[in-house]
Amino acid sequence: MFVCMNWIELEKDLSVKLLELYSRPEAEAISDWVMEFLSGKKRAARMALKPLPMENEHLESLEKITTRLMKHEPVQYVLNESWFMGCRFFVDQRVLIPRPETEELVEWVISNCKFPLDELTILEVGTGSGCIPISLKRRLRKAKVYTIDASAAALEVAEINARALGTSLEFLEMDFLDRSQWKKLPVVDLLVSNPPYIPKMEQASLEKHVREFEPAMALFVPDEDALVFYRALAEFGKEKLKKGGQIFAEIHENLSAGVSELFTFYGYDTILKTDLQGKQRMVRAIISGENSI
């Protein structure tokens, strides 16, 4: 129970508690996020609240939030929000939490788009929260964007976000690994995906807030076939990518060489890209003229 503490004191108190689970920068960032969520004010504006005790309504909310956070639940799920490319996305345990690295993938796609945009067709595989296809549609408004996911629950979340952010997409529930379903999909210019790519053997080494809360089907692949989704992307591209079409995908930093070799085997010109942390986390595969439809 928090007693007779003002906003600034309560933020510091939460940050100290979170040091049991997170590094100091992470604990302070989460505390700042929670207080902004409760007050509706950025840090500078909250300084005006310093001499004021927190209202009972907000105190009750803070206690509930703190209890969930101390069980390792990600703050994004606790607050039902995650920020991606400047937009607020609704998230819960039905979908992965959007990552900053994925913003880099989206920017890379946009920087390599062909014009005119009203003739551009994009397919995104693995909708999740919708952060990738919605962001692409917001930036490339004249493009036609399709997105698929095997999870009906994830698609429900993505559709919430599409409505909230004023975007119109084609949503399809489909297991991309079921090649018999590909006939339902259009011929496209761009194929984009952040597929599952973590070998199951690495599950125990992940942080608890990832391992125990984020959807396993969106994270893990069989140890014996960790590149299963990239193989499907490469084969789909041979069937459904237009001449000069491109595949953009996020990858496991330890599997980048294998991903590159796989796309090269299927006849693509492949480029690996490092993220802002200096890790090879993205691949661009361009279908050559003789391999295109």
User: For residue 27, what are the domain limits?
Assistant: 7-69
Residue 196's CB is within 10 A of a number of other CB atoms, namely 20
Question: Tens digit of pLDDT for each residue in 172-229?
Answer: 999 999 999 999 999 999 999 999 999 999 999 999 999 999 999 999 999 999 999 9
pLDDT cut 70: percent of the chain above it:
96
Instruction: Count the domains in the chain.
Output: 2
Query: Is 150 in the same domain as 266?
Result: yes
Query: Which of 1-5, 59-63, 110-114 is modeled with the greatest confidence?
Result: 59-63
pLDDT at 152: 98
pLDDT in the model for residue 113: 87
**149: which strand partners?**
173
Domain identity same for 26 and 133: no
**Angle in degrees, CA 278, 283, 284, rounded to 5:** 130
Residue 74 lies inside a defined structural domain of this protein: no
Is 141's pLDDT higher than 70? yes
116 shares its domain with 224? yes
Tell me which of 69, 101, 121 is where a domain ends: 69
The mean pLDDT of 238-244, rounded to a whole number, is: 93
d(CA 267, CA 237): 10
Measured at the CA of 267, the angle between CA 266 and CA 268, to 5 degrees, comes to 105
User: How far is residue 118's CA from residue 139's CA, in Å, rounded to a whole number?
Assistant: 12
58 shares a domain with 178: no
Contact 253, 279 (CB under 8 A): yes
Chain-wide mean pLDDT for the chain?
A: 93
CB 136 within 8 Å of CB 147: no
If asked whether residues 98 and 218 sit together in one domain, one would say yes
pLDDT at 289: 58
What is the predicted pLDDT for the residue at 48? 78
Identify the CATH number of the domain in which residue 256 sits: 3.40.50.150
279: phi then psi, degrees, rounded to nearest 5: -105, 140
pLDDT, one tens digit per residue, over 18-73 is 999 999 999 999 999 999 999 998 888 887 776 777 888 889 999 999 999 999 99
Query: Each residue of 75-90: pLDDT tens digit?
Result: 999 999 999 999 999 9
pTM of the complete model: 0.93
Same domain for 102 and 144, yes or no, is yes
